[in-house]
Amino acid sequence: MLSPLTLVNGLACAHGSVLDRGFAYGDGLFETLAVDQRSPLRLDRHLARLREGARRLRIPLDDQLEAVISDELRSLCEAFEAPQAVAKIILTRGEGGRGYRPPTGVQPGRIVRLSERPVFPRSHEETGIELFLCETRLGINPALAGIKHLNRLEQVLARSEWEDEYPEGLVRDIEGRIVEGTMSNLFLLKNGELLTPRLHRCGVAGTVRALIIESAQKHGIAVRETDLWLKDLEEADAMAVTNSLIGYWPVNAFQGRRYTIAPWQRLLAPWLKEGVKQC
């Protein structure tokens, strides 16, 4: 087990202030990145999402602070014991007193952390995974939809529904729409069209999700963001889940139905590699 490396507001330590609003209220954002050969993958995309989340939560994130975060991340990548790792960036509103009202004139807090990268079975990518259907539902809140805020209790509850017999679980909103996996986004192939859930009510708009949508359009493959229901999954020809650490995993089974590994899923690996080169 490799020891994690952590910088809290630029200082080498593993704990922050109990007064930080990220700790007290989940008042902040985070990004999780894969690190390969001591280089954070798709950093530009992650910083762009962090910037958009900060804008929507009204947490000040200027070019200078963004550059500091990027420099700290790269320095930890160089210092880490292994060339492959998982990086986590946390941005909070900063320290504040009691009460929900955001204080004025507060300096944002930041945590940059590197830890050992998990090793997933190669079979997940090569022959696919079976998805679990979670009973926990996601609340609908357009003000927070798409961004990766620190309030993740819904995902914690959903992931607590099974042990390790399934690699991932699928989550619906309170009205029954398919939203995402507990840690991933969903794509399905139906009638020759690539579909993915709309995320304007809830859910996280993943960086790999965006890359796949862009790549599909670039290669002339029809792709559509739309409301999806369990019936759509039953009628799908193929499915896959994606995130920044796993890349993509085809789905071979869900709710008693078997799925094929569609040809378009074999395109995902080169698309992801090309996405790394672009950043």
Catalytic residues: 32, 148, 180
Q: How many CA atoms lie within 13 A of 136 on its CB side?
A: 18
Q: Cα(204)–Cα(183) distance, rounded to whole angstroms?
A: 9
Q: Cα(267)–Cα(238) distance, rounded to whole angstroms?
A: 14
The pair of three-digit structure tokens given for residue 115, joined into one six-digit string: 């830890």
Three-class SS state of 37: coil
Distances (CA, A) of 73 to 36, 48, 246: 13, 15, 20
Number of H helices, E strands in the chain: 8, 15
Residue 89's H or E segment, with its range, is: strand 85-92
Q: Cα(224)–Cα(86) distance, rounded to whole angstroms?
A: 31
Cα 61 from chain centre: 20
